[in-house]
Amino acid sequence: MHTALKLLKRGEVVVGIDNMNDYYDVSLKQARVEQLKNFPRFYFHHVDIAERTALDSVFSCERPSHVIHFAAQAGVRYSITHPHVYINSNIQGFLHILECCRHFDVQHLVYASSSSVYGGNKQLPFSETQPVDHPISLYAATKKSNELMAHTYSHLYNIPTTGLRFFTVYGPWGRPDMALFLFTQAMLANKPIDIFNHGKMIRDFTYIDDIVEGVVRCVDKSAIPSVEADLDYKDPSESDAPYLVFNIGNSHPTPLMDYIHALEEALDIKAQKNYLPMQAGDVLTTSADVSKLASWIDFKPNTSVKVGVKKFADWYRDFYGV
């Protein structure tokens, strides 16, 4: 929604596709779409990307020049309990996106990968030069698969693709299954918040406006080969195909308890804390090296957690009338 708004405000025609599933509150999804329908250049199709024929029809009708693919099934923990959903949406659905880009001459595909691909890696900060061969959730495995599939299509059909490894995105209109939303909801209801691994986790929390700025700049600068065809690849992020992968994170890893403290300040409420063990599929720490992205688009995220959390808290109170 945020990316679409930014593009609409600069005069682009934007076509939105969503299956509006009930993974979380559908009314929140509908409210986002209503925000976009205020723009006459926005067109919406209630379509599931896993339905090949329906997706083909949208591409045939709309003929997009660029595709921004953020339509995957999200959530690390949900992938452990509902694995088939992820294969259907994140693998089958992504294949359909790639095929449509191929057959309808799309100029550039930008898609969401995830910091989850780093899985069991211990070396910090995470860099695109590192191998990502040890995913610890099916969600992470599907995201790495997406990068491999994108490379294949870039190589075979010369389709420019740019993958963005998001690092813990948060902000207004965010997902209700994410920690900040859950914490805010519980605290305003005077209920305890669940804190996993007893709070001993660190995340590279990245504010939504920074994500969108990076996305749009990447859309505007099409992927190109990074090495000559006759050279050996020096690292996993290089290719002789028009294929790029970038980290996009705040580069300021924040202890979870500091994140919670920022929310306590924003809401002026002291949280009741319920400390729990580590959850399956979670990692202890994420930290993004964004030097490659900064060099490519002359931008890197910079919104502080204190500022970003306050903006979310203000939005939440306004949207839900609390």
Catalytic machinery residues? 139
The identity of residue 309, as a single letter, is V
Cα separation, 221 vs 209, in Å, equals 19
3-state secondary structure of 169: strand
296 alpha carbon, distance to own chain's centre: 19
Q: Which of 187, 40, 161 is nearest to 109 (CA)?
A: 161
Closest CA to 307 of 210, 225, 229: 210
Q: Are 240 and 225 in contact (CB under 8 A)?
A: yes
Task: Identify any residues that bridge with 274 across adjacent strands, giving them in sequence order.
Answer: 194
Tell me the CB-side half-sphere exposure of residue 34, using CA atoms within 13 A: 7
Neighbouring-strand partners of residue 111 = 69, 163
Q: Are 250 and 207 in contact (CB under 8 A)?
A: yes
How far is residue 115's CA from residue 85's CA, in Å, rounded to a whole number?
20
DSSP 91: I
CB 119 within 8 A of CB 140: yes
Residue 206 has, within 13 A of its CA and on its CB side, a CA count of 27
The pair phi, psi for residue 178, each rounded to 5°, is -85, 155
